[in-house]
Amino acid sequence: MKLEIKNLTKKYGRQLALNDLTITFEPGICGILGANGAGKSTMMNLLTDNITRDAGEILWDGTDILELGKTFRGLLGYMPQQQGFYEHMTAQTFLFYMAELKGLSKKQAGQEIDELLEVTNLTDVRHKKLGGYSGGMKQRVLLAQALLGDPKVVILDEPTAGLDPKERIRIRNFISAFSRDRIILLATHIVSDIESVADQIMMMKTGTMVGMGTPAGLVESVSGKVSELSCLPEALADMQTKYRVGNVFQRKGQTWIRVVGDILPEEGILVEDHLSLEDVYLYYLGE
């Protein structure tokens, strides 16, 4: 089971959204990390065949997904970034509607919907109209519909956007529970969403891949590139101009900054322990 992207390119007018992207995805959770406009959503829309590529290939086990057509779409589960619901529907009605669009039998749909509502903790509100759901509850319904039909490729576009920390953790746990024997692509700009669940992390910037690896491997790659130093508040703006400054924090009544990069302040103290994906993000994707 393998999903390959080869030399994938997409333009919107003169803007290059994806630039000759090549990558292979295998079973497990791959976090796709990048700022807004990095090309994450464009890549996912190409994978779901919602938009037309300008060049390149997308292969499922060696065959282009355009050739596979409906067969490949039957293997997909997709959770879009934007919540688009019929607000008058209940969660149960909506999931049966989506199951019918996916071609599931009524018996299979009923069994899967019962299980998914239970796992996403929505059983007690299954007959409540979606218009009365909170943002987090709606995201859980979107996740449930993406998992209908036991898809082999699950594409999640900013699944925790706009959620409070408690709901973000809940959604992450659901995603982790469903990751066995599936390729799960989780696009986000929130580092904490993938730090604890991703097997691999792909980092994107301006339509290109700028880094790829395991969370531990990527953290190791910034060893020797992070330092901390005290900084007078009036000098902070100048330091942010000269260096990539991450956290600004207080230590024993003084203002300290965390700096990431190939060039570090001479007066800084090199950070050898407690490196994080936030440091990785700033190193590869920061300005």
pLDDT, tens only, 269-280? 999 989 999 999
Query: Which residue's entry shows tokens 């994806």?
Result: 18
Q: In what order do the strands lie in the sheet with 153-157?
A: 76-79, 153-157, 183-188, 28-33, 200-205, 208-213
Instruction: Identify the DSSP state of 38.
Output: S
CATH of 3-218, one of 3.40.50.300, 2.40.50.100, 3.40.47.10, 3.40.50.720: 3.40.50.300
| pLDDT computed for residue 165 by the predictor | 85
pLDDT, tens only, 142-196? 999 999 999 999 999 888 877 888 888 888 888 888 888 899 999 988 888 888 8
Q: 34, 190 in Cβ contact below 8 A?
A: no
**For strand 63-64 and strand 55-60, is the pairing parallel, antiparallel, or unpaired?**
antiparallel
| pLDDT computed for residue 104 by the predictor | 94
Q: In what order do the strands lie in the sheet with 226-230?
A: 244-251, 254-260, 226-230, 269-270
121 SS3 class: coil
Low-confidence spans in the chain with pLDDT less than 50: none
| pLDDT computed for residue 190 by the predictor | 83
Task: Indicate the domain borders of the chain.
Answer: 3-218, 224-271
The pTM of this model reads 0.88
| pLDDT computed for residue 179 by the predictor | 84
Q: In what order do the strands lie in the sheet with 63-64?
A: 15-25, 3-12, 55-60, 63-64
Query: Which residue's entry shows tokens 């996403």?
Result: 120
**Nearest to 138, CA basis, from 195, 81, 77:** 81
Query: Which residue's entry shows tokens 């508040």?
Result: 233
Q: 211, 23 in Cβ contact below 8 A?
A: no
| pLDDT computed for residue 12 by the predictor | 94
Q: 206, 39 in Cβ contact below 8 A?
A: yes
Q: Which residues contact residue 60 at a Cβ distance below 8 angstroms, ignoring those fewer than 6 apart?
A: 2, 3, 4, 68, 72, 75, 153
| pLDDT computed for residue 36 by the predictor | 84
